[in-house]
Amino acid sequence: MPASGELGRVVRLSIAGLPASGYPDVVSAYPPVVQSRLMKLPRVIVYLWTFPTTSVGLLFVPAALLTRGGVCQHSGVLEVSGGAVTLFLRHCTLLPGGASAMTLGHVVIGLDPQTLARTRPHERVHVKQAERWGPFFIPAYLLASLFLKLRGRDAYFENPFEKEAYGKDT
């Protein structure tokens, strides 16, 4: 999710964790048929399927901890913020004005803990997407954005992953 859009809209990017209490919240966003199938899947399988994407997010953990950032766990997701993570989100994304948060599997990086809390509903949709797409989440997201950009369309707001996430938190 971008930090701010051209129209002054507050935006966020994303990708997402483990206690049993967080599991029903994640599953409840799916249609009933999918929910029942997901509930039957052992969570460890879902985490393993998502791990290639999560491993990218885990790179930000030492980066944050070595630069006065922080890491905490919320509803089965590691949330990382501050320090080098803040610099990355402000200056190293393709979003004008930077991003306020980004989901990488079961890791969500954010500018600070308050931003992580504010963007949680949106980012948790991306967590579910990452669980659905597994190792193909990041390539699929980027290909969708590239396809849109080449067609002269908005690579962020028209990306189907973002459309779903914004549909759920508005």
Is 115 near Zn ion (CB under 5 A)? Answer: no
Pick 76 or 110: Cβ nearer Zn ion: 110
Q: Which residue has the tokens 């501050």?
A: 82
Is 27 near Zn ion (CB under 5 A)? Answer: no
- Minimal distance, residue 97 CB to Zn ion, in Å: 14
Pick 1 or 77: Cβ nearer Zn ion: 1
Asked if 11 and 3 touch (Cβ cutoff 8 Å), the reply is yes
The C-alpha atoms of residue 108 and residue 15 are separated, in whole angstroms, by 6
Strands (E), the chain: 70-74, 77-81, 101-104, 107-110
Report the site for Zn ion in 126-165 (rule: CB under 5 A).
Answer: 162, 165
20 CB-contact burial (10 Å; exposed 0-12 / middle 13-18 / buried 19+): exposed
Is 85 near Zn ion (CB under 5 A)? Answer: no
Using CB under 5 A, which of the segments 7-15, 66-74, 79-87, 108-116 binds Zn ion? 7-15
Is 14 near Zn ion (CB under 5 A)? Answer: yes
Which residues of the chain form contacts with Zn ion (CB under 5 A)? 1, 13-14, 162, 165
